[in-house]
Chains A and B, each alone.
Chain A
C-alpha cells in the first residue's frame, strides 16, 4: 500500500481508499469512470452494446429501431444468453461444454420420441428435460471419474448427439406436438422467450453471487486443490454444473423450436454452442476458470445479437460477422488480462 505512487494508485481501488486530489475535474471523472469499469467488468460490454445500437440505428435507416426488429434480436439473444449464462458457470469452475449446442438440437426429438411412444405432452416434456440433464450427468461423471478434459468428453458427446438427432428425425424437421399446454407455457406470448431468458439469467446470477454453490464453483475453478483441502466436494460441484448447463441447453432447444414451430435437426449445433461460449467470454468470464458473471454473458449475447442483426440489416454479409466475433473474443480476453493486472496494481 505505502509504496503505491500517485500514477499507479489513480485507476482503481477496491480497498475503498479516499480518492487522491487530481489536477482537474475532467481527469477525476475519467479516473472515476475507469475505476467503475475496472471493478464492474460487465459495464464495458454494456457501453459497447449501446454504441452498436446507436450505430445501427443511424446506419440502418428506419429498420433497426422497430419492435419487429427487436423481436429478431431477441431470437438471437435468448438462446445465446441462457446457454451462455450456463457456460459461464462451467467456465468459472474450470470446465467447458462443447456439446450444449447439440443438446439444444437433440432434446426436442427426445420430446417427440416420448410423445410418439404414448406419453402426454407434459410427461414428454419432463422426460426430455431429464434426458438433457442426464447428458450433463454423463459428461460430468466421465470428466471426473476418468479425469478426462471436459473439452474432449463434451466434443465426443456433441458428435454423438448430432448423430442421434439425425437418426431420431430421419433428417427431416418435424412439427412439435400440439396441445398439453406446451405452446402456452413455453411460448404463449410473442416475447415469452425473452421472459424465460431473463428469468433464467437472474436465477443463475443469484446462484453465483449469493449462495454457497457460487462460492464453491469459484473455488473449484480458481484452485481445485485448495478447495478440496478446505473440504469442498469439487467433483460434485462440477458435475452439478454440467447437469445445469445441459438441462438449460435442452430446455432452450425446446423453447426456441416451439416458437419457430418446427423441430429441426439442423438447428442449434456448434453455432449455438460457440455463440454461447463467446457470449460468456466477451462478458468477462475467464476461460481458465475462477471468475466471471452470468450477467456479463447475457450482455455478451446481447452484443452478439445486436451485431448479427445489425449486419443483416445494413447488408454486411455473414462472413464479416464472423470476423467481428473473432476480434471481439480476442479483444475481450486481452481486456480481461489487462484489467486484472490494473486491479492488482491498484491494490498494492
Chain B
C-alpha cells in the first residue's frame, strides 16, 4: 500500500473501494484496488491503457461484479447488482459516447426515461420539463442557444456539458467521467473543466475523472490516483505533486534507455 493522502473534501466519504480484484479468464484486470472519494472532491484517475481504469469504472457503475473485495457507498458495504441499481444509489456515469439522442431537443435528453407526465393522463409535461432543463443548465452555468434545440445541432463541448448536466440533474452523489476531454478542443475542454469546478463548489457531489492530460488533472482535481497493473500505486493531493512527477511515474517503467 502507498501513502494515503487526505482529500480536500468535507470528510464525508461517498465511495470507498477495498481490496477489489477482477479477473477475466486468464487476464487479471484488477489486482488489489483501494480508493475513496469524499463529497465535494474531484479524484483524478490516471494510468496507461490497459492498466484497468475502464474495468474499475465498470465495477463502480454496476456493470461488472468484482471477484473479491468490497465497495462501501456512503459507509455502507454494498453489492452493486446492475447499472440501474448503482444509478438508484446515485452513481452516475457520463460515457464517452455521451448517450444522447441527437434527434431530440435538449430538454427531452435531460429527462430521457424520466419524462414528466400529467398523471393519470399519459401526456408529457413539456413546459415543465423545459423550465426544469433551463434551471438545471443555469444552475451549473451551461450556455446553449435554447433548451428546445436538437442535441445533434450542438457542438461537442455543449453535448458533453449536457451529458454531465443530465447526470447531475438526476441527483447524482458520485459522478464518473470517462475521458470527457478526449475528443475536445482546448477551448471546449476548458469549459468542461470549469463546469466540473462549479459542480465541486456545490459541495454535494463526488467526482472521479479519468483523463490523459495531466496538466488538466493537476489543474482541476483535488487528488490524483495512479493505476498501474491493476493496483493504485500512487495517491497524492494535486497540490503536492506536479505534471512532471506524474509523467515521470507513468513513463518510468517504459523508458527505452532503462
The yes or no verdict on A and B being binding partners is yes
B149 and A347 within 8 A (CB): yes
CB < 8 Å neighbour of A232 from B113, B122, B152, B153: B113
Q: A15-B145, A215-B108 are in contact. Are A229 and B122 (CB under 8 A)?
A: no
A15 and B146 contact, Cβ closer than 8 Å, known pairs A210-B124, A212-B124, A231-B84:
yes
Indicate if the CB atoms of B115 and A227 lie closer than 8 Å: no
- Annotate B135-151 by CB proximity to A: 1 below 8 A, 0 otherwise: 00000000001101110
Chain A, 109-139, CB within 8 A of any chain B CB: none
Closest beta carbon of chain B to A296's beta carbon, Å: 15
Any B CB within 8 A of the CB of A67: no
Say yes or no: B101 contacts A212, CB within 8 Å.
no
Report the minimum CB–CB distance from A339 to chain B (whole Å): 13
Q: Give chain A interface residues in 204-237, CB to chain B under 8 Å.
A: 206, 210-215, 218-219, 221-223, 225-227, 229-232
Is A79 an interface position by the 8 A CB rule? no
**Residues 60-72 of chain B: 1 if any A CB is under 8 Å from the residue's CB, otherwise 0?**
0000000000000
Contact with B along A284-309 (1 / 0, CB 8 A): 00000011000000000000000000
The reply to whether the CB of B239 lies closer than 8 angstroms to some CB of chain A is no
CB of B182 within 8 Å of the partner chain = no
* Closest beta carbon of chain B to A58's beta carbon, Å: 40
Q: Is the CB of B104 within 8 A of A218?
A: yes
Query: In the complex, A290→B103 CA distance in Å?
Result: 6
Q: In the assembled complex, which residues on chain B have CB atoms less than 8 Å from the CB atom of A210? A: 123-124
List chain B residues, Cβ under 8 A from A231: 84, 87, 113
- For A219, the chain B residues whose CB sits under 8 A away are 101, 104, 112
Size category of the B interface is 20 to 34
Are A230 and B112 in touch, CB under 8 angstroms? yes
Majority secondary structure, B binding face: loop
Size bracket of the A interface: 20 to 34
Contact between A226 and B146 (Cβ–Cβ < 8 Å)?
no
How long is the Cα–Cα vector from A290 to B146 in the complex, in angstroms?
A: 20
Report whether B148 and A14 are in contact in the complex, using a CB–CB cutoff of 8 Å.
yes
Instruction: For A211, list chain B residues within 8 Å (CB).
Output: 117, 122-124
Residue of A nearest to B146 (CB): A15
Q: Does the CB pair B84–A343 fall under 8 Å?
A: no
Q: Is the CB of B102 within 8 A of A223?
A: yes
Quick check: B153 and A348 within 8 Å, CB to CB? Answer: yes
Does residue B97 face the partner (Cβ distance < 8 Å to A)?
yes
Cβ of A132 to closest chain B Cβ, rounded Å:
24
The answer on a CB contact under 8 Å between A218 and B146 is no
Most buried by A among B84, B87, B98, B100: B100
**CB-CB < 8 A to B149: which residues of A?**
14-15, 347
Complex Cα spacing A17 to B95, Å: 32
Q: What's the minimum C-beta distance from A38 to chain B, rounded to whole angstroms?
A: 12
Give per-residue flags for B113-139: 1 if the beta carbon is below 8 A from chain A beta carbons, else 0: 101010000111000000000000000
Give Cα distance in the complex from A222 to B112, angstroms.
13
Q: In the complex, are the beta carbons of B95 and A14 less than 8 A apart?
A: no
Q: What's the least CB distance linking A218 to chain B, in Å?
A: 6
A212 adjacent to B117 (CB under 8 Å): yes
Query: Complex formed: what's the CA distance from A99 to B124 in Å?
Result: 32
List the B side residues contacting A214 at CB < 8 Å.
124
Q: How far is the CA of A16 from the CA of B115 in the complex (A)?
A: 24
Q: Is A40 an interface residue (CB 8 A)?
A: no
Contact A226 B145 (CB under 8 A): no
Whether A203 is near chain B, meaning CB under 8 Å from some CB there, is no
Measured in the bound complex, the distance between the Cα atoms of B157 and A17 in whole Å is: 21
CB distance from A163 to the nearest CB of B (A): 38
A264 to B37, CA, bound (A): 71
Partner pick for B98 among A226, A290, A348, CB 8 A cutoff: A226
For B84, B113, B122, B124, the residue with the greatest tally of chain A CB atoms inside 10 Å of its CB is B113
Given contacts A230-B112, A230-B113, A347-B154, 9 further A-B contacts (CB under 8 A): A14-B149, A14-B150, A16-B148, A206-B123, A212-B122, A214-B124, A223-B100, A223-B102, A291-B103
29 inter-chain pairs at a CB distance below 8 angstroms, sorted by A residue, are: A1-B145, A14-B146, A14-B149, A14-B150, A206-B123, A212-B122, A214-B124, A215-B115, A215-B124, A218-B103, A219-B104, A221-B103, A222-B102, A222-B104, A223-B99, A223-B101, A223-B102, A226-B99, A226-B100, A227-B101, A227-B112, A230-B113, A231-B87, A232-B113, A344-B152, A347-B145, A347-B149, A347-B153, A347-B154
